[in-house]
A and B are shown apart, each in its own frame.
Chain A
Amino acid sequence: MRSISPVGGPGWQDEQRDDFLLSELVYVMGRRRLLVAGTMLVLVLVALLFGLLKEPVYTAEATVSVKPREDLVNNEEREAFMEEVRGAVVTQRLLRGVMRHAGWQAGLAEFTERLDADPFVTRNGETGLQVRFSGSQPEQAARAANAYADLFVARVERLNDERLAGGALAADALVERRATPPAGAGLRYLTYAALAAGLGILLGGACALLLEGRTRSWRDARDAELTLRAPVLGVIPDYSHIEEG
């Protein structure tokens, strides 16, 4: 006759009560499913609206490998070498050339704002340049990143030639990885929607827990058992209407 519940067995009083059980969370969210679903839906709609109104940004990435012809003993020297290469190669002229090749119509300032070209030295001593370009179109972003990488390599080769005529730079450069157009808008919207849905479940769940703690409405024995983690020995119905009558 005694109520059957996971907390109703012998020794239930000694069980750990501080932890929040998954079954409790599922039960509360189930009870407040409209709140959770509503919060999730609102956030998904806001995220999609945000995605539609905000100018999309696609970032394409290319990698240029730059190898010094001299042996450099440590990474500090390699970093200094890469800075020297970048200083010698990257000029306003190069940037204007990249803009032309990429078909960039807006000004140089906006172009450089969207461009991010960082020299790198790996742990095993490889040196190179990471080129990232953020554009409003995936193809445009890839085109600009590749144009920068191509012209950078061409300029290094030219500087090598100039070295023969008395210049200081001696390095071999090649485009190690070309940029490809980043994922399209559909995937972006899907990502926004998925993140918003996750956030909606968390927020809705938190609100459900908060409301559930404050509520003065108990449904049945199972409700009491899950909330109190104690066996329910009896459920007495409300008979005040009988008394009043």
Chain B
Amino acid sequence: MRRHYEELAGNLLSLGEDVKSVVVTSPEPGAGCTSLCLGLGAALAGMGRKAAVVDCNLENPSLHRMLGEPNFVGLTSGLKGDRALEQYGHEAVPGLLVVPTGPVTSDPGLLEIAKFVEIVRGLEAGRDVVILDAPVARRVLRSPNLSGGFDGVLLVIHAARTSKSTARATTDDLLDAGANLLGVVLNGVVQEA
């Protein structure tokens, strides 16, 4: 397992120094974005890089659930507060900062304010890579901040749940929208014995 995440981390780093913040999304829910973000972050940390994972999926926060932690503070706290986003997260493993969503409000435009990009970009100062666990691709496409505010987009396809036509349409939509699609991650591949 570790080897596969390290390979992904290596491929991501090979894209260049310009890629510091990556939006991770999928065509449909259930593709495994959150576990992939954590796995990728852990692999980067294991490779001696400083990484951060920020849960931006306000519709379905799952980072804290996956870690079995509360969601009292996080991204939304940072958006409303004055402190740096780093202060609203914690190190899950050495070198890996995790920032959950924080208390989720019913305000759908929270991710559209300029401060969102600003505070997440602020993490780049102390981190080699910032990974954003984003909502599904159609939501990303509706959000100028998520689709164009960061260095690139990584599309997660689940090998047993995502239909090929949906994946192809999502890839086309992201490119048509001008998103810097870095590449695709195929998740949940059943390995033949």
Contact = CB atoms under 8 A, between A and B. Distances in A.
Is the A/B pair a real complex?
A: yes
Interface of A: 1-3, 8, 13, 17, 212-221, 224-225, 227-240, 242
B163 to A, nearest CB: 5
B184 A224 contact: yes
Contacts of B5: 234, 236
Most chain A CB within a 10 A radius of its CB, from B155, B160, B164: B164
B162 interface: yes
Contacts of B188: 236-238, 240
The 3 A-B residue pairs with the shortest CB-CB distance in the complex, in nearest-first order: A234-B8, A233-B183, A218-B159
Contact of B184 (A2, A212, A228, A240): A228
Contact of B163 (A2, A216, A236): A216
Nearest to B32: A236
B184 A218 contact: no
A2 B9 CA distance: 10
Nearest to B185: A234
Contacts of B172: 17
Majority-rule SS of B interface residues:
mixed
Contact of A214 (B10, B163, B175, B181): B163
Contact of A232 (B32, B162, B186): B186
B119 interface: no
B52 to A, nearest CB: 19
Contacts of A1: 7, 10-11, 14
9 contacts: A3-B183, A17-B172, A212-B164, A232-B185, A233-B182, A233-B185, A235-B185, A236-B32, A239-B1
B165 interface: yes
Pick the most buried of B11, B15, B159, B191: most chain A CB atoms within 10 A of its CB.
Answer: B159
A171 B39 CA distance: 96
Nearest to A8: B183
Given A1-B14, A218-B159, A235 B186 contact: yes
Interface string B35-51: 01001100000000000
A237 B190 contact: yes
B162 A218 contact: yes
B34 to A, nearest CB: 13
B189 interface: yes
Contacts of A220: 186, 189
A226 to B, nearest CB: 10
Contacts of A231: 183-184
A177 to B, nearest CB: 57
Contacts of A212: 164
Nearest to A228: B171
A214 B154 CA distance: 23
Contacts of B189: 218-220, 235-238
